[in-house]
Chains A and B, each alone.
Chain A
Amino acid sequence: MRTTIQVLVLFLLAALAGAATNWLRPTGALPWVFDRRLLAPPAPVTPPGGQAPADIPLAEILAASGAQGQPGVPRLIDARHREAYEKGHIPGATNVPAALLPVAPQFLLMRAPPDQPVILYCTGGDCDESNRVWEQLRALQYQRVRIFHGGWAAWEKSGHPIERGPDPLPLGK
């Protein structure tokens, strides 16, 4: 009983110390509740009809998939980890795992120069990899980056062809 009370007191003291140091932080306090808008790319503009912002249509992804490598065509980038990519991905998409990009931006630069439009996708739904790659791309001065929010789940569900196997472009050892 005594140990349990001491554990609870230590938990409470840690919260107080965290609050105090955060309040005194010279660079400004970190909000206690994370604001997800800080992460997500700007939401698409709502069309005049008042409909909900639409995701990139599957038809556009399909067209881009069939024309990878041609000038002006957005580069499809799969932001999931390598194993997921190798099990199945949108045909023609290249793999830049979100976890790898911060330490190895050269893998992205060899796949798409900063002036090329890029479409990112990850698992779909609530996946976060595309958001994280989006942040990195913006830091690397890529100007035309969009996210296919439906992601792999929407593509797989649509019944369009899928491609399996490793990315022919290297991702290091």
Chain B
Amino acid sequence: MHATVCDYIADLVQNAVEAGATRVALEIETRSERVAVTVADNGCGMDAAQVRRAENPFFSAPGKHDRRRVGLGLPLLRQATEATRGDMEVRSTPGQGTTVSFRFDAQHVDTPPLGDLAGTLLTLLSLPGSYDLAVHRCAPAGDYAVARHELAETLGDLENAVNLALARQYLTALERELDVPPRPRARAA
């Protein structure tokens, strides 16, 4: 099961790329009281009925996996945010794109840890496809921005393992600059 916030982020960005997006914007904000993430894309978008179906755990978008009869990404995220005094919102317009935003209460004992963000960003920035991913990361100690096209221009082939290792080194250094201390967990009631 999805154990970290990064797992949910990976799901949403993948969905955006698979929806045919050429631009995906990922905002990640961590504060002492909340974790907030927004994934906005210019993919095919969904009408209201499709948005409702996307949150149905027994629905999977056609074409991804022919025999699969479950689609757990959004339902699991909805369940996790609501169990931790957070929330999730999906806004979408057919032909224009989709924006998924979610927030966790950072002080809730059941809020998942952020996870390995540098490793996750490496995975997302090297997904196959013709898209640009622009990441904006904010924390109390500062912020940074990184984009797929910048990494590709600097390093070259983002499928080459050595280039990927360099990209990860860069992302890890950016994340370390923020030096986010571990979140103290609230006592269970």
* Real binding pair: no
